[in-house]
Structure formats: C-alpha cells, structure tokens
A = this chain, B = another copy of it.
Amino acid sequence: MRALELSDRDLSDLASEAARIAADYWASLPSRPAYPSTSGTETSRLFDRPWANEGRGRAVLDDFSAIAQHVRPCTGRFFGYVAGSGEPVGAIGDFLASVLNQNCTSWRSAPAAVSIERVVVGWLAEAVGCAGFAGSLCGGGSTANLMGLAMARESLLPANDDGARPGVVYASEQAHMSIAKAVSLLGLGRNNLRLLPVDASLRLRADAVRDAIAQDRRAGKTPLAIVASVGTVATGAIDPLHDLAQIAETEGLWLHVDGAFGVMAALAVPEKFDGLSLADSISLDAHKWLYQPIDCSCLLYRNRDAPRRAFSYSGDYVRIFNQDPEETFAFFDESIELTRRFRALKLWMSLQYHGRDAYREAIGRDLRHAELLAESVQSHPQLELLAPVPLSAVCFRHRTKNNEAILRRVIARGRVYLSNAMINGHFALRACFVNHRTTPQDVDEIIREVIAAADELND
C-alpha cells in the first residue's frame, strides 16, 4: 500500500475494534472513580515520547485503556464545573462527522451539512423560545460570547475599518471570565467592563446597571452593551431579562445573554427564561445542558445583519457562482470561523434519536437533583446552603470545618467530584447537575462524602 493508505479490510477491522472499545468504555463508566488517581509525573511518563519514524499500526488502539485510566470519566458522580456527560449517540454522530470530514463553511463547500446545521440551529432557537433567531454552532461559550460582543461593537461602535473606540459593557460581578476576555480581545479595554453588584439572589441589579450607565454618560463615556448571565456559573442565578432588555432598549444598547450554562433549561422550565427573546444575541452550550460531546456551542442572533457587519469578508477563492439563497449561504460570513467542523451531525442524530420529550425529561431530572441536594443540605445540621438554586448548581458549606480541606479530601476519596466557588466571601462546595447519567443515589453520595471527609479532618 502507499503511505497512509489502509486496505478496506484493515479499516473495517480498525473501526470495529474502536466501536468495541467505545462500548466497553461506556459500559465501564459506573465502575470508574469520579476522578482518576494520577499525577503530572505519571501522565508525562506514560505519554511523553517522540514521534517515531516507524508506524505502530493497530497498537495505537492499545493506548486507549491507559488514556482512559488517566482522564476524568464522565460518570454520574462528577459534579464539578458545568460538565456535560457526552451522550453516546452524540459521540457516534461526531464519529460520522469525522468520517464525512465536511468543511461547513458554506453550502457550496458542504451542502447537506450546512443545511443540517441551519436546521438544528433552528431547533435550538425554537427550544429556548426564540423561534426566528438565526445562528451558528461554534466551539465553546467563550467563542460564542466573543462573537456576540463583536456583533455589539460593530453594530454600535463600528471598529472593523478604523479601530476600536472605548465602549462600556455592563455585566454582573458573577459574570463568566469569558466576558472580560472578550472585551479585552475586541480592543474595548477591560477597564470599560463594569462588573456590577448583585441582589440577595446573586442576580445583576437592574438599578445598578441604570446608575452605572448614567454615571458613564455623565463622564462622557459611551455605553455599548449589557451582558445578562443566564445563569451565572457559580450559582445559576438568572439575571432579570425583562428589566435588562428594557434598559438596553431605552439606552440603545446591545443585549447579549450568556446562556452557556443555563439557557437550554428553557426546554423544561420556560417560565424561568421569560424575556429571553428580547435579547440581541444568546450563547448556549449544547455540550453542557444538552449532554453533547465537546465541542458544541451555539450563538443565536435576532438579526442576521449584525454578524454580517461584524464578520463578512470574502476572498476570491470562495467566490460563489449563483443566487439561490440556500446555495449562496456561507457561515463564514456570520462567524469568526472559516473552516468549521460538522458539529451539527451529533445534534441531528442525538436529538432525534431520543426526541425532544426525552431531553425535556432529562433536564427536568437534573433540576430535581439540584433541589434534592439543596433540601438535604438544608436539613443537615452541619451544612449550610450558601445561595438560592434557580437552576442546577448548588453552593453550600460545612458550618464548622475548613471547606477547602473538605473539598481536597472529597476529591481524593474519588467517589464524587465537587468544585468550588466564592459566595459572599465564603469558600463554597459546589455541585452542578448537567449529566444524564446521574441518579438520585449519586446525589445522596454527595452529602455522605462531604460529611465523611469532614469527619476525617483533624481539627
């Protein structure tokens, strides 16, 4: 065979072997720890090697079990960060996307793939009550937030031609760090990002936004955009969408909703997201609360002119010959990406395999798991709930022990994994539920493990 070529038979065997490995791995998840026992020394020792001249052939598949032992498994007992569960049908869709190897940059480049992406983006928009919004898939919430704010900048303080002028962005002090990163990257200056006070429920205070805008206008500054977090990464707080939309309208500002964590819950509890459709742009992460394998985010926007103003530059080599609206469609005119993976296929397969009702039910289950944990915390004399639980993140602490030490010990015990947050100056233990594998028994483990870890501490 010529270099890099495999016979049909060898390829078929290799694919079958990979399918077997995948199925075995999924079946093994319930017995895997919440976090692996490993170290930097160990992962370097196992994997730091040169690229050899000679091929290893099928032996490369043997590495899988060592890799799997030294990564975080997506078990139902990993409650850290906002970590989706990697729904297997989605993973199979991802595989077939890599097999087709489409470049979803324009219909011309990947006809059915681009049409399918437009359709699934429509499903997502409709599922969160924003039917009619257009959008595109992208790699992560950070990119989606960056694109949303780029659209804000180019719509209100155009900078593409002559460079950025300072424009002020208003967000909650609980906003995700990707907002500051986007403001910086866009040349707006992080000092023009106002991270404003929140109310007792950790929601951005609309009056604080109004005051800050007025103060900036008096100081001769130019307000540009409001970012609503829906919900915040620490506690899932849902900023007051109606009030913020009204301010944005009155003041002529862009309203971007960072819904990376929470927006997909609108499928199950739409009443919590009333006002969402007043946004100009909305980011959401299907690899979080739609359980899809990483990466699969989406930016939705009300008006397709905005991304085109921000991102449309065409070269001769992407010149298109005809005028059919589907055939001349190009995502590269509406995104910072040019080459784009066929991310829509996993959504196409996974969302249809299970159906919309099943997703609604799974999200509802995550919400109930969070309530269950919050109730258990509140009924436990040694524990204290540190914030309301509007979605599926639960922040709590042990009343008397060192919670940072408890967290380290919980993680070392390996039965459940929690992360942390700072809530009103307290170090919080934090559990987040965006995992279709989690059972009520897994939720019960959290309290047991925290108390067991606390009891182990010498104080």
Contacts and interface: CB of A to CB of B under 8 A. Distances in A.
B176 A315 contact: yes
Interface residues of A, number: 169
B112 A56 contact: no
A452 interface: no
A4 B291 contact: yes
A184 B160 contact: yes
B110 A71 contact: yes
Interface string A133-166: 0000001111100100010010000011111111
A95 B103 contact: no
A309 to B, nearest CB: 11
Given A8-B26, A109-B81, A317-B430, A142 B336 contact: yes
A419 interface: yes
B4 A12 contact: no
Nearest to A5: B436
A317 B81 contact: yes
A392 to B, nearest CB: 15
A131 B310 CA distance: 37
B4 A55 contact: no
A139 B153 CA distance: 24
A317 B102 contact: no
Interface in A311-366: 311, 313-317, 319, 321, 324-327, 329, 336-342, 345-346, 348-349, 351-359, 361-362, 365
Nearest to A46: B112
Interface in A140-199: 140-143, 146, 150, 153, 159-166, 176-178, 180-181, 184-192
B95 A316 contact: no
Given A48-B115, A317-B430, A338-B140, A4 B358 contact: yes
Contacts of A25: 99-100
Contacts of A44: 115, 326
Contact of A316 (B164, B362, B420): B420
A317 B115 contact: no
A373 to B, nearest CB: 18
B71 A111 contact: yes
A206 to B, nearest CB: 24
Contacts of A430: 317
A67 B40 CA distance: 43
A102 B44 CA distance: 17
Given A46-B112, A316-B421, A15 B19 contact: yes
A17 to B, nearest CB: 8
Given A91-B99, A233-B315, A357 B54 contact: yes
A36 to B, nearest CB: 6
A49 B6 CA distance: 38
Contacts of A321: 408
A195 B23 CA distance: 52
A259 interface: no
A378 interface: no
Contact of A436 (B4, B163, B164, B354): B4
Interface in A420-447: 420-422, 430, 436-437
A337 B161 contact: no
B38 A294 contact: no
A222 to B, nearest CB: 11
Given A39-B327, A176-B315, A362-B3, A19 B19 contact: yes
Q: Lowest 7 CB-CB distances: which A-B pairs, in order? A: A187-B187, A40-B326, A164-B187, A86-B101, A163-B189, A55-B355, A95-B95
30 contacts: A2-B365, A2-B436, A6-B88, A6-B89, A15-B92, A18-B92, A19-B19, A40-B111, A40-B327, A54-B357, A55-B355, A60-B352, A67-B112, A69-B112, A71-B102, A71-B111, A86-B98, A103-B294, A140-B338, A143-B336, A153-B187, A159-B184, A162-B166, A163-B165, A163-B189, A163-B191, A164-B188, A177-B314, A185-B185, A295-B339
